[in-house]
Amino acid sequence: MTTSATNPTRADASQITAHHPELVGKVAVVTGAGRGMGAVFATELARRGVHVVGGDLDDAPGTAARINAELTDAGRVVGLRADVTDPADHDRLLQTALTEFGQVDCWINNAGIFPQAEFTEIPPDQLTATYQVNVNGVVYGAQTAARHMREHGGGAIVNMASVAGVRVRATRAAYNSSKAAVRHLTSCMAVELGEHGIRVNAIAPGFVDTEMTRWVREDPAALDRALSTVPLRRVGAPIEVFGALYFLLSDSARYITGAVVPVDGGSQHV
Ligand SMILES: NC(=O)c1ccc[n+]([C@@H]2O[C@H](COP(=O)([O-])OP(=O)(O)OC[C@H]3O[C@@H](n4cnc5c(N)ncnc54)[C@H](O)[C@@H]3O)[C@@H](O)[C@H]2O)c1
């Protein structure tokens, strides 16, 4: 087992034991499921009996095949290529879920990009791409989910925000502001969709061990800087973000909507 006890900066990727039996047989759509947190969400949901449709620009079918090969008596994962910046691709995710599993109960707007540039040097295409993926992609996904859920007894939507939406770091203005928008959109959606039995929450991860942040972990100075703003003094593991997601999707969170749950080792306070 890799734990923070053996290496204080390393993520604790050991399993979490939470189990919400009421989610067995439910169906979730996860965007950005080809790798990173999205792939872990798909794996862990399926392990717990939730069927998953995972979309990604890259290799969602390959990820789904790998996950299914490991699963025995649990949920099934279907992967397809889907670009969150295209509303038609969200419709394909929905239709795939309905064709394969007959329903959609949960929708996780996870796909995101994390570009860097000094503020004065942000190129227009970087700004556009960041907002297209991180903001428009979340809106299109939630619209697709909500149109279906309001006709079928409600559901749960979870958006991936970030601590960057409240604690800004230099050279990340496009990303920071896109994640601030996700937080605010989560409130807007919760207010407007609650009467249809649709709960909308967000997760705000801090520094999590995925491909997105590999360059930070591989640069000792950047790693020191990053960990100096984490009270728990280590990077987080995707499974630790899954713990919050699984709770938010479950019946234990049935009176929670419009919340932004930090999973950041305390870094929102530094
Ligand atoms: N890793 C962190 O430290 C961290 C911290 C806070 C928030 N987040 C957020 O969590 C989410 C997942 O991040 P991750 O760390 O797993 O990143 P990652 O880069 O490992 O994975 C992101 C996935 O999204 C996919 N993607 C990108 N653009 C897409 C598009 N247009 N359509 C469909 N898929 C697309 C990528 O192909 C990739 O598979 C993102 O929204 C990210 O901003 C991550």
Which range marks the domain in which residue 245 is found? 22-262
227 within a domain of the structure (yes/no): yes
Span from the CA of 195 to the centroid of ligand 1 (angstroms): 30
What is the reported pLDDT for 73?
67
236 within a domain of the structure (yes/no): yes
Residue 84 sits in a domain whose CATH number is: 3.40.50.720
Span from the CA of 163 to the centroid of ligand 1 (angstroms): 14
267 within a domain of the structure (yes/no): no
> Closest ligand 1 atom to the C-alpha of 32?
24
Which residues have a catalytic role annotated? Answer: 162, 175, 179
Report the nearest-CA residue for atom 25 of ligand 1.
32
Nearest residue to 31 via CA among 89, 72, 70: 89
| In the predicted structure, residue 210 carries a pLDDT above the cut 60 | yes
* Per-residue pLDDT tens digits for 116-153: 999 999 999 999 999 999 999 999 999 999 999 999 99
16 within a domain of the structure (yes/no): no
More confident residue, 39 or 68: 39
What is the reported pLDDT for 239?
98
> Closest ligand 1 atom to the C-alpha of 38?
16
What is the reported pLDDT for 2?
39
223 within a domain of the structure (yes/no): yes
Mean pLDDT of the chain: 95
Span from the CA of 148 to the centroid of ligand 1 (angstroms): 25
Q: Within 13 Å and on the Cβ side, how many CA atoms surround 162?
A: 27
Distance CA 20, CA 109 (A): 21
**What's the domain count of the chain?**
1
